Amino acid sequence: MRLLVIEDDKDLNRQLVSALEQAGYAVDRAFDGEEGCFLGDTEPYDAVVLDIGLPKKDGITVLEEWRRNGRIMPVLILTARDRWSDKVQGFDAGADDYVAKPFHMEEVLARLRALLRRATGHATNELTCGSVRLDTKSGRVVVGGAPVKLTSHEYRLLAYLMHHMGRVVSRGELVEHLYDQDFDRDSNTIEVFVGRLRKKLGVDVIQTVRGLGYLLDPAAGEAEAR
């Protein structure tokens, strides 16, 4: 899953990006409203962390422009604790949730997990496809009760497919959502990661749909589990 952090405080921006990357996300960053607005309008983010008080263009304006332009990714706004009016403005502009500063990083992570779950139609942190279980909170993957150790890119690939179970996901979409802006993207690497992932999982839950992409089919997973 690919996220965008727009925060002008460089230390806080760095802390947010670091925590999100450690949690298994690909993360882009911006330090002002103009750059953040452009990225949000042109890149396919799964969710955005947006500060309200930004230079060049404030967060409310950024959010309003995105929504007018049809951008529907979940947005978590950061507000000052004593500015309840920021929260109201944020929700009215199209925000999905908020965190008040100062905050605990775990709260930000939990709220983002909830936004990503809702956006893809899942009710809990644990995603299941047959004998494969992925816990988005702990980052733990289990197959048939046995833990499976994945690299960060393998985990991102599995997590994205599991969030979008039952839908064919193209290689291009995977490239756009698994890598940050600075990564040297190559759709061929997706095939390599899929091959490694299949070998590590040891179960045939990732189907190749020729000419279209990959499908994680819950029905096939259930048959595999039996």
Domain count along the chain: 2
pLDDT at position 183 is 66
CATH at 170: 1.10.10.10
Q: Are residues 8 and 108 in the same domain?
A: yes
Q: Are residues 12 and 72 in the same domain?
A: yes
Between the alpha carbon of residue 34 and those of residues 130, 170, 181, the distances in Å are 44, 30, 17
Q: Are residues 94 and 22 in the same domain?
A: yes
Domain of 133 in residue numbering reads as: 126-225
CB 25 within 8 A of CB 116: no
pLDDT at position 226 is 52
Q: Are residues 157 and 131 in the same domain?
A: yes
Q: Are residues 91 and 60 in the same domain?
A: yes
DSSP letter assigned to residue 184? -
CATH at 22: 3.40.50.2300
User: Which stretches within 58-151 are classed as H helix?
Assistant: 59-68, 84-93, 105-119
pLDDT at position 184 is 62
- Where a domain ends, among 84, 119, 154? 119
pLDDT at position 215 is 93
- Where a domain ends, among 78, 101, 119? 119
Q: Are residues 131 and 113 in the same domain?
A: no
Q: Are residues 45 and 142 in the same domain?
A: no
Q: Are residues 130 and 111 in the same domain?
A: no
CA dist., res. 194 & res. 163, Å (int)? 16
- Where a domain ends, among 119, 138, 160? 119
**CB atoms inside a 10 Å sphere around CB 207:** 12
Is this model's pTM higher than 0.95 or not?
no
pLDDT at position 191 is 87
pLDDT at position 197 is 92
Q: Are residues 97 and 130 in the same domain?
A: no
pLDDT at position 130 is 86
Q: Are residues 77 and 138 in the same domain?
A: no
Q: Are residues 34 and 132 in the same domain?
A: no
Classify burial at 54, counting beta carbons within 10 Å of its beta carbon; exposed 0-12, middle 13-18, buried 19 or more.
buried
Per-residue pLDDT of the chain (226 residues; tens, 9 = 90+): 999 999 999 999 999 999 999 998 999 999 999 999 999 999 999 999 999 999 999 999 999 999 999 999 999 999 886 778 888 989 999 999 999 999 999 999 999 999 999 998 888 889 999 889 999 999 999 998 899 999 988 999 999 999 999 899 998 899 889 887 766 666 578 888 899 999 999 888 899 999 899 998 876 655 555 5
pLDDT at position 189 is 81
In a 3-state reduction of DSSP, which class is residue 36?
helix
